[in-house]
Structure 1
Amino acid sequence: MASNITQTHYNDMTPAKKVSKKALNKMIWRSLFLQASFNYERMQAGGWLYGMIPGLEEIHTNKDDLALSMSHNLDFINTHPFLVTFVMGIVLSLEQEKADIQTIRSVRIAAAGPLGGIGDAIFWLTLVPITAGITGNMAMNDRSILGAILFLIIFNGVQFAVRIWLMHWSYNLGTKAVSVLTDNAKEFTRAASILGIFVVGSLIAAYGTTSIRIILTDPVVDVQGLLNGILPKMIPLAITLMLFALIRKGWSPTKCILLLIVIGLFGTAFGILAGDSKAQNEDGSTIPGGYTPLVEWYDYPTE
């Protein structure tokens, strides 16, 4: 929803001085509150204006122009919260040059749009899987809270660095930054997505431990060993491909999670899926297979 603004130019058309680094840094910090007043009418407009105010106050010394600028900066906007400073820098450079108001509004929407896919590819499909894979392994193996702390430090350190760099780069580059973004958006998004998928696939191979518990006797046949001879990690791969197919058919992530819970409970109850719970019987001896299933439909060889 756009503001009801009919005026197309500011009253004072003299280009303003460059915004101070202090104001730019304030805008960077305020960008953290982009979604603080998120709503379905104008999405991130309230947080956007809050972030823009330090720069607008330095540019528009005329109070009527400042009010006008604040009004049209309350237009609908929806962009990636970690990359918003890119749009802020571009819009601020246009405000500094006292560009046509309609031009500023159009550029703001044009710059904000493509950032959703790019930001998801950078952060959710690349940075998070890589960082979580490394620090998660540290937390599981070392049983240390350092893994969680390190994850937060790396993730937030990267996104803060991106916010700072984008603000100063886009502000200095001005509207040329839009063409740089749009000309390379598809290629960049595709490259980041491929890297993220590669990392997720590596995590499946490294941490996918789902295996078959069944060992048949007379003659002894280790079903999991047989599968490993054909293709190691076959079960985790099959589960991943199954979930991929279900999501393509319209299943939600919640349904997929519930399905995995059902499969886990069923497989454990019937002794199909392997476990390493180190369960012991009354004599203190380790129970073969890691646990005793509720339904024992085959004989497990004794150690």
Structure 2
Amino acid sequence: MTQESITKNTKISPTDKKLLRKLYLRSLTIGAPLQYANEYGSGFEYSILPFIDHYYKNGSEEKRQALKRHIVFYNITQYVGTFCQGLVASMEKQASQHEDYDVSSISAVKASLMGPMSGIGDTLFWGILRVIAAGVAMTFGMQGNVLAPFVFLLIYNIPAQWCRWEMTKLGFTVGSEYITEMYSSGLLTIFTKAARTLGLIMLGGMTSSLVQFKTKLVFHVGGGQVINVQNILDSLLKGLVPLLITLGCYWLIAKKHVNFTVVILGLIVFCILISALGIA
């Protein structure tokens, strides 16, 4: 039996559904054993351990090799990373049942998914969903509504956890054949680029609506004329100062590697200072 036919015949049995639920629950703790040596490698192995324990005999060389395969470096955005975990679990099951299965393909597929899936996951969840959830929650917060933090948690976590579970099942049923097809057809690359573009559009929209600056500076000149600095700034480019502030923060964090907390504290001090001086 070839690897292709094995993959096509993969079905979710009641036993596998039970194991998938365990994988999903364990994936919630994938970041707990984070370390620089292998990033989320330990958490990944802990997540798929129910499959390895079930399908490999205790004390066997095959099980030892399976455990060794997954203690190495791993890093994918957790909400879509369960696709990789489900896929690897499916491949490990096939490897345990067929002696001629090419186990090197398991590590190869796992490694090849890290870059593109992280690009998709980071864009969709860190770049889009988190910003949207925070924006909606801040609207409630500015109105003094105590539900603001709960709104954020619900808007973010409901789709995030739904995606985590669905990606777990999808990864298990898809099999390695379809991953190869997506790469060869260029579909995965197109989807990644589209997600990144959408993320940039959403970030631009959220920046223009949430980062605000209006100066109070006015200059009185002869003849009773008044120069309004804010009107001059708006005539140059609407939202010029918020754009410069956003780009400045990006430059400090991405280019100068200034700590995120330091940037936040600097913004707080800056806002207090210009407010005390009557500039804004």
TM bin, normalised by shorter chain, reads: 0.7 to 0.9
1:106: which partner in 2?
A: 108
- Conserved in 2, the CA contact under 8 Å of 1:56 and 1:95? yes
Distance 1:122 1:16, change over 3 A: closer
- Conserved in 1, the CA contact under 8 Å of 2:137 and 2:148? yes
2:188: which partner in 1?
A: 185
1:71 aligns with 2:102: no
**Which of the two has higher C-alpha Rg?**
1
- Conserved in 2, the CA contact under 8 Å of 1:126 and 1:193? no
CA distance in 2, matches of 1:144, 1:135: 9
Which digits, 9 at most, give the CA deviation of each residue in 1:76-124, with x for residues without a partner?
3222222221111211221122223322222222233432222111111
- Conserved in 2, the CA contact under 8 Å of 1:170 and 1:177? no
Distance 1:239 1:72, change over 3 A: closer
Distance 1:85 1:242, change over 3 A: closer
Which digits, 9 at most, give the CA deviation of each residue in 1:19-38, with x for residues without a partner?
52111111011011112212
2:267: which partner in 1?
A: 260
- Conserved in 2, the CA contact under 8 Å of 1:214 and 1:222? yes
Which digits, 9 at most, give the CA deviation of each residue in 1:234-267, with x for residues without a partner?
3223333444555665353546445534543443
Distance 1:70 1:230, change over 3 A: closer
1:301: which partner in 2?
A: none
CA distance in 2, matches of 1:207, 1:75: 41
How far off is 1:61 after superposition? 4.4
Query: What TM-score do the two structures reach when normalised by structure 1?
Result: 0.74
CA RMSD of aligned residues (A): 2.8
Distance 1:102 1:149, change over 3 A: same
Q: Which has the higher helix share?
A: 2
- Conserved in 1, the CA contact under 8 Å of 2:40 and 2:74? yes
How far off is 1:213 after superposition? 1.0
Which digits, 9 at most, give the CA deviation of each residue in 1:120-144, with x for residues without a partner?
111111111122112211221x211
Alignment counterpart, residue 22 of structure 1, candidates 7, 12, 18: 18
1:151 aligns with 2:152: yes
Structure 2 alignment gaps of length 5 or more = 1-8, 96-100
Query: What TM-score do the two structures reach when normalised by structure 2?
Result: 0.79
CA distance in 1, matches of 2:105, 2:117: 19
CA distance in 1, matches of 2:138, 2:168: 32
- Conserved in 2, the CA contact under 8 Å of 1:34 and 1:47? yes
Question: Kindly, what percent of the aligned residue pairs are identical?
Answer: 29
2:214: which partner in 1?
A: 211
**Higher relative contact order (CA closer than 8 Å, sequence separation 6+):** 2
1:83 aligns with 2:80: yes
Report 1:40-59 matches (<5 A): 40-59=36-55
Distance 1:105 1:222, change over 3 A: closer
Secondary structure of 1:57 counterpart: helix
| Higher mean C-alpha displacement, 146-155 vs 95-104 | 95-104
